[in-house]
């Protein structure tokens, strides 16, 4: 599982680098423009694209954090144990979500509340 988590970590870091570059490019491209997002017909599109890119970057950073936590759990032998109930997390769930911290029962119950 460590190999999968390390591959996922590398992919997340790559996404973060790419998105950070995209956002920096957007900011630089609009820095010299005198765009008024509120009154410019293209302004809302630019603002939306920037907000979407920032949201995707936040999501990639959150994913990286979960992967890093999973690697720590792997090292301290708590990987695969539900953080809520203490029961084992099913191999199928870990195959689908290698960084999962909870079993499917606890994850489902958490979403209901």
User: Do 2 and 35 fall into the same domain?
Assistant: yes
Q: How confident is the model at residue 46 (pLDDT cuts 50, 70, 90)?
A: confident
Phi and psi, residue 79, nearest 5°? -65, 135
Q: What percent of the chain has pLDDT over 70?
A: 84
* CB 54, CB 23: distance < 8 Å: yes
Q: Which domain holds residue 107?
A: 80-113
User: Do 49 and 14 fall into the same domain?
Assistant: yes
Q: Encoding tokens for residue 24?
A: 């920096």
User: Do 53 and 72 fall into the same domain?
Assistant: yes
Q: Encoding tokens for residue 54?
A: 């920032």
Q: Encoding tokens for residue 112?
A: 């209901």
In angstroms, how far is the first alpha carbon of the chain from the final one?
A: 31
The residue-averaged pLDDT of 48-64 equals: 94
The residue-averaged pLDDT of 46-60 equals: 90
- What pLDDT does 105 receive? 95
41 vs 107, more confident: 107
pLDDT tens digits, one per residue of 70-85:
999 999 999 999 999 9
User: Do 37 and 7 fall into the same domain?
Assistant: yes
Would you say residue 42 has pLDDT above 90? no
H or E stretch covering 52: helix 43-75
Burial 5-23 (b: 16+ CB within 10 A, else e): beebbeebeebbeebeeeb
Q: How confident is the model at residue 106 (pLDDT cuts 50, 70, 90)?
A: very high
């Amino acid at each position: 599982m460590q190999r999968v988590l390390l591959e996922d970590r590398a992919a997340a870091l790559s996404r973060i680098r790419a998105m950070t570059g995209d956002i920096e490019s957007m900011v630089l491209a609009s820095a010299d423009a005198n765009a008024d997002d509120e009154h410019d017909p293209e302004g809302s599109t630019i603002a939306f694209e920037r907000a979407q890119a920032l949201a995707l970057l936040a999501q990639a950073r959150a994913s990286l954090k979960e992967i890093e936590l999973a690697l720590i759990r792997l090292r301290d032998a708590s990987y695969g144990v539900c953080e809520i109930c203490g029961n084992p997390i099913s191999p199928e769930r870990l195959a689908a979500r290698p960084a999962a911290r909870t079993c499917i029962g606890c994850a489902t119950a958490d979403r209901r509340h």
